[in-house]
Amino acid sequence: MQVVLYVFIAVIVGVILFQAIAQQVGTATNTLTVNSSETLGANGASIYVEEYRALIGVTIYNATDYAEIDSGNYTITNNVLNNGALAVKITTDDAEFASKAVYVTGTGQPLTYIADAGGRSMASLVVIFFALAVALVALYPVYSNKLMELLDR
């Protein structure tokens, strides 16, 4: 009975830790859809989108008439340090759009995103191997024949 109790406690703790690990790996490996309302800087000036480290497939729309702003009117710079944190820098390149309210859309990498594809793969493997370890602990009484001793057979 002692072995079954130990296994039960180990599996409960393992499942709780597994959930926490899997959630953190999800935030480090998944990109997000960006729909952000921003105000562009003056001509030649920059604004920083601090919620993301990089934006991909960016489209900027004018907030007043939702017309798409041509990509030649702004410059996107990813992975820029702003006040000690990674951010996306959007520089206004045309005086026509200086200080205009806009909507920024695209795919964003959150601040916790692992930029290296190999690192993202390894993070996912940690979750898989942890799940296998919890399963092996759960099966320990069966493969060590303790379950049969518990049932007196």
**Could you tell me if 54 and 78 are in contact, meaning their C-beta atoms sit under 8 angstroms apart?**
yes
28-76 pLDDT, tens per residue? 888 999 999 999 999 889 999 999 999 999 999 999 999 999 989 999 9
Instruction: Specify the pLDDT at position 148.
Output: 65
d(CA 140, CA 151): 15
Q: Which amino acid is at 36?
A: S
- Contacts of residue 141, Cβ cutoff 8 Å, sequence gap at least 6: 3, 4, 7, 147, 150
d(CA 8, CA 144): 15
What would the two tokens of residue 99 be? 């200080």
- Contacts of residue 58, Cβ cutoff 8 Å, sequence gap at least 6: 71, 76, 104, 105, 106
What's the pTM value of the predicted model, to 2 decimals?
0.73
Q: How many CB atoms lie within 10 A of CB 2?
A: 8
d(CA 74, CA 17): 45
73-117 pLDDT, tens per residue? 999 999 999 988 999 999 999 888 898 999 999 999 999 999 889
Q: Is 115 helix (H, G, I), strand (E, B) or coil?
A: coil
**Could you tell me if 137 and 64 are in contact, meaning their C-beta atoms sit under 8 angstroms apart?**
no
d(CA 27, CA 16): 17
Q: Is 30 helix (H, G, I), strand (E, B) or coil?
A: coil
